[in-house]
Amino acid sequence: MLLIRCPWCGMDRPEIEFRHAGAAHITRPGPPDRVSDEEWAAFLYLRDNPKGRVAERWRHVHGCGRFFNAVRDTVTDVFVVTYKAGEPRPPETGPGESQPTEARP
Amino acid sequence: MVDGFADTSRFRLVEAPPLARFVLRAPDTALKAAGKAYGLALPEALNHGASHGERGKPGARVALHLGPDEWWLIVPEAEGPDVAAALESALGSHPHSLVNVSHRQVGYVLEGEGAAGLLNAGCPLDLSEAAFPPGMATRSLFHRVGLMIWRMAPGLFRLEIDRSLAPYFVAALAEAAKDHS
């Protein structure tokens, strides 16, 4: 089982206490009467699916109940960093090649 | 003693008497006023609990800080209306929500030297005293059901479980107890 650090609780907690909640930092276009159908469709449905580090929303549903953001590597499943909702993505975690990680015992 | 659960010398399970429970959602700025009206300072550290008095006895107060702006307040059943009225009048100038959830969940006490080990049969948290010291309180899971765990002493846990899920919890705990006794 993975341990995920909840930025609100400030501690590592077991993976099954969390729920994934889609891509992070998606900006809703607006105002609605000036948004084209294409823009709206892109906001609703189009997502990147990169190999490597992605920013995602997660929720500590069986803990403090709050949403936060996490940068996760889709190849190694390593959580690079977690940060509170509303904070910008840490610049050093930008998209890039998957980083090899140390073997875990 | 709870139906369907066999107490042993290493742990025993006790069901709580009827209690009044409230969920308070409020900003930090309202804490002082809330604590004064409640009669017990609400803990500021997240995932910590505070209490005074004996459970179910007149004057007993419990405050558990379970989310960044969320506290559970547990008092004897008869004092619920008075506590709610006192809090509402003290918090009038603060944005807040105070919801009575008394009948949503049931409380248990699990105590004994084997209590932590037994809980770990279904709960993935690290319940060693170094990682989960007395005073700590948090929501987590027991197998498939969510529960609130509050460690009052090394071998004394207070638990709160949704009422409809409690039979599952007791049955799963009783099954685990067979391996731990």
Domain ranges within chain A, ordered by starting residue: 3-90
- pLDDT by residue (tens digit) across B33-63? 999 999 999 999 999 999 999 888 899 999 9
**Residues facing residue B75 across a β-bridge:** B20
Three-state DSSP class for B176? helix
Distance (Å, whole) CA A99 – CA B175: 43
Q: Do B139 and A62 touch (CB under 8 A)?
A: yes
Q: Which of A26, A1, A9, A25 is nearest to A60 (CA)?
A: A9
Per-residue tokens: B65:
């800080």
Per-residue tokens: A6:
């909840």
Residue of A nearest to B139 (CA): A63
Phi, psi of B115 (to 5 degrees): -65, -45
Q: Is the pLDDT of residue A98 over 70?
A: no
Q: Is the pLDDT of residue A31 over 80?
A: yes
Q: Enter the CATH code of domain A3-90.
A: 3.30.2270.10
Q: Do A62 and B125 touch (CB under 8 A)?
A: no
Q: What is the mean pLDDT of residues B18-39?
A: 95
Distance (Å, whole) CA A56 – CA A3: 16
Q: Do B141 and A17 touch (CB under 8 A)?
A: yes
Q: How many CB atoms lie within 10 A of CB A96?
A: 11
For residue A66, the chain B residues in CB contact (below 8 A) are: 67-68
Domains of chain B (ranges; CATH) run: 19-100 (3.30.70.1520), 104-180 (3.30.1360.120)
Q: Is the pLDDT of residue A8 over 90?
A: yes
Distance (Å, whole) CA B76 – CA B8: 29
pTM: 0.90
Distance (Å, whole) CA A23 – CA A55: 6
Residues 29-68 of A with CB under 8 A from B: 62-66
Q: What is the mean pLDDT of residues B59-82?
A: 96
Q: What is the mean pLDDT of residues A54-77?
A: 95
Distances from the Cα of A38 to the Cαs of A23, A24, A29, A47, A48, in angstroms? 19, 21, 11, 14, 16
ipTM above 0.85, yes or no: yes
| Total beta-carbon pairs less than 8 A apart between chain A and chain B | 39
Distance (Å, whole) CA A8 – CA A16: 17
Q: What does the pLDDT read at residue A96?
A: 55
pLDDT range class, residue A91, cuts 50, 70, 90: confident
For residue B130, the chain A residues in CB contact (below 8 A) are: none
Q: Do A9 and B46 touch (CB under 8 A)?
A: yes
Amino acid residing at B117: G
| A26 and A40 Cβ atoms separated by less than 8 Å | no
